[in-house]
């Protein structure tokens, strides 16, 4: 992948992860925790959200080496779970908000292509397709139940209490586990079939 294409994809990714994180904060506030708003994180301005390594350097590197899975993240929006009205249930809802926002963004960007308003071969259609693909990958990837990904917090909602310390103890190793799984090809068997199905569902064609 050329540098210009990689940078273009990186810009889309950054705004997608910003929307992802802001959605966490908005739902947390709806459920009783204003921490994200008080920290100035309920904004679409990317600057307060960007982490130099995980938001820029890591995804740019993965793009340039044609990694099978694109991984990037903004600074996590601060959430004080003790402020939530029902901490265990609401923690899962806050976690689900991020991937949910990415799925909604993919859905709305797919509509003009699906109904022929912007052909997939046009510049505008190509841009929307890239937004769709990146947001679907973000949503699917973040739903994997490995700490600190959102899927682990959703899983925690349903696990018996005795297993929670084991799940959250993995968070300190989560980044290394994720990198190993990316380069082992494991995620290809999870993300690609789901991505292919969702693209067919949203666009009516396998691209």
Q: Which of 4, 21, 29, 121 is catalytic?
A: 21
Can the peptide bond before residue 34 be classed as cis, meaning omega within 30 degrees of 0?
no
Would you call 117 exposed, middle or buried from its count of C-beta atoms within 10 A (0-12, 13-18, 19+)?
A: exposed
Residue 178: HSE in the Cβ half-sphere, 13 Å Cα cutoff: 24
21 annotated active-site: yes
For residues 175 and 21, give the distance between their C-alpha atoms in angstroms, rounded to a whole number.
18
Residues 6+ apart with CB under 8 A from 60: 6, 7, 10
Show the beta-strand stretches assigned E in 77-141.
none
Rounded distance, CA 150 to CA 166, Å? 16
Place of tokens 């991505």: 195
Helix, coil or strand: residue 192: helix
Tokens representing 139 are 């949503």
Kindly list the catalytic residues: 21
């Amino acid at each position: 992948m050329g540098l210009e294409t990689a940078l273009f994809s990186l810009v889309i990714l950054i705004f997608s992860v910003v929307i992802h994180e802001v959605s966490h904060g908005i739902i947390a506030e709806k459920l009783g925790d204003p921490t994200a708003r008080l920290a100035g994180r309920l904004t679409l301005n990317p600057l307060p959200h960007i982490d130099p390594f995980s938001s820029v350097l890591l995804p740019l590197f993965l793009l340039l080496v044609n990694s099978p899975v694109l991984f990037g993240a903004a600074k996590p929006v601060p959430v004080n779970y003790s402020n939530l009205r029902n901490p265990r249930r609401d923690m899962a809802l806050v976690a689900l908000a991020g991937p949910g926002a990415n799925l909604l963004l993919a859905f709305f960007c797919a509509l003009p292509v699906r109904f022929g308003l912007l052909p997939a071969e046009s510049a505008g259609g190509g841009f929307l397709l890239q937004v769709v693909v990146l947001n679907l990958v973000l949503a699917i990837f973040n739903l994997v139940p490995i700490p600190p990904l959102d899927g682990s917090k959703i899983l925690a909602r349903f696990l018996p209490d005795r297993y929670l310390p084991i799940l959250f103890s993995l968070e300190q190793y989560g980044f290394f586990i994720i990198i190993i799984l990316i380069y082992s090809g494991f995620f290809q068997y999870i993300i690609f079939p789901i991505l292919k199905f969702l693209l067919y569902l949203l666009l009516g064609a396998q691209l």
